[in-house]
Structure 1
């Protein structure tokens, strides 16, 4: 069955690429107001294409920001439903002079498609449409039900999508969410990301005297704001990298033996990492490998610190203000609001005399994980292996995609991050590109996946009954 679909995709490859180039030509940059009309055009293009391939109930929903595009196909009675999420907005292209071809005039070189959005995320969203079109054209029906939610604000934080999801939970109800906006481990090495860390970020502002003071006249008698803030920052961790904030590890979900085994199987060398980064040693929480430290353990990092005289030479002052930005990466079952409150208490309890401290909150997002053994995850692994011919790696991302946790929180559904990009493809940078090898193999993988997933979810339902 999947062979017929693969042949159809091969026969229509040139046509499909030309259609993708049309979409990539629309500069749907969400961060720049001068491209608001282009955002509307980008949304309408994908809505029109959803209708063209046979999706129904297609609608461009206006929000307080950029539109959300919805479409569905719900004719597989009694079968499970997949919600496919993606985004049609793209990053700015600056510095444009570093591009080797115009960013919005897609060009194929060395079997790579160059354009802004080629990999992140128009190319990967487009693959989903073409696979469902191929199945409908060759089989006349789909193996399960499908819904699409394609937004235009992912690159600026998805500010309005949570409200849209909350107001449309019935519309978006499904059995699983599938997102192709992540990467493979390496070329020829597919990976399923089944978890992401959350985020809590804040700024610490320390205020001392009413102005900077002469260090000769006041030094030794008045608190120095820089000394005060470094004392606070130093109190966050011990020499082994363990975070000393009271209750910080209270709810941390530990790795399962299966996860530990899966991570070890990746054989990711610490020596290679040190060479790449040109550091003589790695540093992190004792008792965990660097993979475990960055995927399944929480962190607290100082992202910036400033205050006092910054110019050349010396200016002998006691700074009356100092500032620092910190961020915590969180793991299940840590909650951002709870962590922020613990951080505030810790800061208050470690503020030295002679200064006042205030805290300003920034980005936050909950962590998420879909159990490694979930049928939707394992079905994805089997689909990758059929096409790429190697075992699928199971990874957890060290970074954060807050909207994934929002889906998890509001819709209570397993999320499968099933991407086909590579870390070398310059997304968010000049000369973004997408390897057409993964464009082709990725669509073949998705064709296998929908049949694998339907069977796996049907079995799960029978077992649960």
Structure 2
């Protein structure tokens, strides 16, 4: 791979300029901003590689970009997304979220770590392979969607409809990072998620707060309902919820025990003195990867601007997400939550599902897993840390596990990448190592 690596080094400045072009283009799915323009940028970059590209429409959403190139006995599926999170709060960015800047070896822009950096690094790796080693030794299929940050509402139906087209021997998933001790990580699965809103309603309009003596306050109503969902020790109290949460197997516990869990560095990075329940070591790691969550992501009621306003709000809303371990399915969570609230007299609280995804995991002996481990050893010069499951979520199940395709997640992030937050970034060194990793994975997986 010496010629490959030399090509990457010789073209490093151009590759970074391409990344700047990608990150200058807003593509905020939550607000419907810039998705068509971003899709055209991705399409043009794929066509530059000689790929056959199709923009495949979905109902009421940006198209899925599907592409094929190369040939061989093996087929590698690449999954990425070209949409990004909203950049708010803007005043906490040190430079504009869509004005890419490089400072102290880091590339700052919204979407560079999630997920435009990984997407483009993979295409640049393909370019470098073609330019230095010739024709690709396997077939590559690309599925790049524009709705991942909205919960991938159309990807499951897309995958089911095009199952034969998507057939592959393995998948490189869209994300990954080094850990707190600079070790590369590889993940074999993801948690599921159920994202929803709880809404409470009161009078037909906001009222003067003096009327709180006789008019119900939906904000309090919502707070009382929320207080039944968890206790102070972080136990989820939704009736029957934890009965469905699968415990890790003995083999998975062995994998957890082999993970060097840098808890002190994690707490320092987060700026917290201790983890929930004061957990440490293997028990903290087990909770992180194999316990579901119930998280209040946002609250809205009444007046929250500067100064005071004595108002009795007529509505209150909370956004919640439940991160789901195996056997906890999105629809099941909605049903259990509805029953739980009704049983406690909160039948007036509206439950509004937004999006849901199943959990997924690949077998550790799958060829794509073995190839990824060997590729990481070659590029990073050390053993990767292999996680049986990531704490985050994504549409891995419908696109891979449901179609019989094992997947691994690896990418260009680091613990301080600030995903979904101001000053999102990747380190340039990690970015170029990510390109080399993809090139090595192509070679190793084709030969496996």
Find the counterpart in structure 2 of residue 463 from structure 1.
none
**1:393-432 equivalences in 2 (<5 Å):** 393-395=385-387, 396-401=389-394, 403-408=395-400, 410-432=402-424
1:351 is paired with a residue whose SS is: coil
Match of 2:112 among 118, 135, 144: 118
Find the counterpart in structure 1 of residue 322 from structure 2.
328
Q: Residues of 1 paired with 2:153 and 2:381: CA distance?
A: 40
Structure number, greater radius of gyration: 1
2:171 is paired with a residue whose SS is: strand
Find the counterpart in structure 1 of residue 335 from structure 2.
341
Of residues 84-93 and 284-293 in structure 1, the stretch that sits farther from structure 2 once superposed is 284-293
Q: Which runs of 4+ in 1 moved over 6 A?
A: 206-218, 222-231, 284-288, 304-313, 319-323
Q: 1:400-443 CA distances to partner (integer Å, 9 max, x unpaired)?
A: 22x22331365332221111112312344444332111122112
Find the counterpart in structure 2 of residue 58 from structure 1.
53
Q: 1:310-347 CA distances to partner (integer Å, 9 max, x unpaired)?
A: 9999x9x9x99987655432111221112322232233
- The answer (yes or no) to whether the contact 1:370–1:416 under 8 Å persists in 2 is yes
Find the counterpart in structure 2 of residue 46 from structure 1.
42
Find the counterpart in structure 2 of residue 12 from structure 1.
11
Matched, 1:156 2:155: no
By how many angstroms is 1:12 displaced? 2.4
> Where does structure 2 lack aligned partners over 5 or more consecutive residues?
none
**1:441-452 equivalences in 2 (<5 Å):** 441-452=433-444
By how many angstroms is 1:75 displaced? 2.4
Q: Residues of 1 paired with 2:225 and 2:92: CA distance?
A: 42
- The answer (yes or no) to whether the contact 1:182–1:419 under 8 Å persists in 2 is yes
Q: 1:250-282 CA distances to partner (integer Å, 9 max, x unpaired)?
A: 443322334323333334355555564445662
Q: Residues of 2 paired with 1:62 and 1:426: CA distance?
A: 31
By how many angstroms is 1:157 displaced? 3.3
- The answer (yes or no) to whether the contact 2:413–2:426 under 8 Å persists in 1 is yes
Matched, 1:199 2:198: no
**1:118-267 equivalences in 2 (<5 Å):** 118-186=112-180, 188-204=182-198, 236=229, 241-267=234-260
TM-score by length of 1: 0.79
**1:295-306 equivalences in 2 (<5 Å):** 295-301=289-295
By how many angstroms is 1:190 displaced? 0.6
By how many angstroms is 1:188 displaced? 2.7
Change (3 A) 1:356 1:404: same
1:283 is paired with a residue whose SS is: helix
Find the counterpart in structure 2 of residue 364 from structure 1.
356
> Where does structure 1 lack aligned partners over 5 or more consecutive residues?
457-465
Change (3 A) 1:247 1:420: same
Matched, 1:434 2:426: yes
- The answer (yes or no) to whether the contact 2:117–2:412 under 8 Å persists in 1 is no
Compute the RMSD of aligned alpha carbons: 4.0
Q: Residues of 2 paired with 1:65 and 1:217: CA distance?
A: 46
Match of 2:75 among 75, 78, 81: 81
Q: Residues of 2 paired with 1:22 and 1:217: CA distance?
A: 57
2:292 is paired with a residue whose SS is: coil
By how many angstroms is 1:286 displaced? 12
By how many angstroms is 1:285 displaced? 9.3
1:423 is paired with a residue whose SS is: coil
